[in-house]
Amino acid sequence: MLGISTMTRKHFIFIKLIMGLAFVAAAPLAKGDWKVVEHPNPLGPGQAVDVLLDGKPVVRLVHGDGQIKPFLHIFGSGGELVTNPGLDREGNRAGLFNHHRGIFIGWNKVSSELGKYDMWHKGGPGNGRYDIVKFENTTTKNSASIVAHIKWRATQKDASGSDVMLSERRTFNVSRPGGRYTQVDAGFALKAECDVSLGGDLQHAGVHFRAHTEVATRNKETSYLWEPSNAAGKGKVIDDNHQWARLLFPIGKRWYTAQEMNIPANGVKELSWRDYGRFGYFLPKQLKKGEPFNLKFRFAIEEVDAPANAPKQSDEQSKVSHQLCTKRYEEFLKSLK
């Protein structure tokens, strides 16, 4: 057997990645002390719901006054934010395209008898807004769940006095498979409270991930993988079988990947991506009053080895990354059966 000293660095990295892929595929969920804690947002306006593992934050739902939309933060292995807050501690908008925040959902053209609203860029007084009316948070030995009941409110009211366009039950089930990465199963169970159109375009609608604002200043260091692999133009992928997309990006001296996984039942039309760290799926919908619209996605966020050909992965690294993303996607599909 060859020792490391006689192997090329390229081959050693490839073998190391293959071993990591085998471990992750077989790894059980990491056990620990999972907690869900509600408190004021320590990093800006509004409220926060933290999922903690052994006292350390894994994710944080941010919502309430001063925020334009509820969104989910992801924390890195060093306690750093992996996702974009959009605001500084004083509540001032900060960074490029600061309306993109963490893991979020929205459409910039929401229309009904209650008016037309941009539920992507805007929120709060004078605009359509998201109102969390209650939480039903839970924990198990292996995971924790944030369950938020949300009303999508208009500025007008119908004949019955209601200003609600959509009712939603949003679920983030959070786990740490093998203790190696953060897995978020995101469910958006929407119900139309009136006839409503959820529209826009692929850059301003759907379910998206936005990396920390630092990534926007290092956009030449980011890269994507996705399945299917065909690209129909800069910033978008059009296909009838969207499976997953994965972003590689740096924060400080660490490197991370974020993978978003889609299922056919979601009705996705296009994948949108930008080199500054925002990507997600576009899915327009016309709903009749009382009609449900249920969406399920899985996210996997992981600290990874530095790219061999910084800032790009080597061919071997990209190959193994693609294999790992495909494996996780297959496991996601199996979990839904």
Every domain of the chain and the residues it spans = 4-32+108-209+217-335
- Angle, CA of 8, 11 and 12, to the nearest 5°: 85
Burial 89-108 (b: 16+ CB within 10 A, else e): eeeeeebebbbbbbbbbbbb
pLDDT at position 78 is 85
Instruction: Please provide residue 15's backbone torsions phi and psi, each rounded to the nearest 5 degrees.
Output: -65, -40
How many CB atoms within 10 Å of residue 234?
8
Residue 279: name the closest of 234, 315, 214 by CA. 234
Contact (Cβ atoms closer than 8 angstroms) between residue 287 and residue 196: yes
pLDDT tens, the chain, 337 aa long: 334 343 444 454 444 454 555 444 445 676 789 999 999 999 999 999 999 999 999 999 999 999 999 999 999 988 899 999 999 998 999 999 999 999 999 999 999 999 999 999 987 667 899 999 999 999 999 999 999 999 999 999 999 999 999 999 999 999 999 999 999 999 999 999 999 999 998 889 999 999 999 999 999 999 999 998 875 556 677 777 899 999 999 999 999 999 999 999 999 988 999 999 999 999 999 999 999 999 999 999 999 999 999 999 999 999 999 999 999 999 999 999 8
Q: In terms of DSSP bridges, do strands 196-199 and 285-287 run parallel, antiparallel, or are they unpaired? A: antiparallel
Alpha carbons 291 and 27: distance in angstroms, whole number? 39
- What ranges in 279-314 are assigned the alpha helix state H? none
The confidence score (pLDDT) of residue 302 equals 97
Give me the pLDDT at residue 6, please. 39
The amino acid at 208: H
Q: Are 132 and 172 spatial neighbours (Cβ–Cβ below 8 Å)?
A: no
pTM above 0.85, yes or no: yes
Residue 28 has a pLDDT of 64
pLDDT at site 337: 87
Other CB atoms within 10 Å distance of the CB of residue 20 = 16
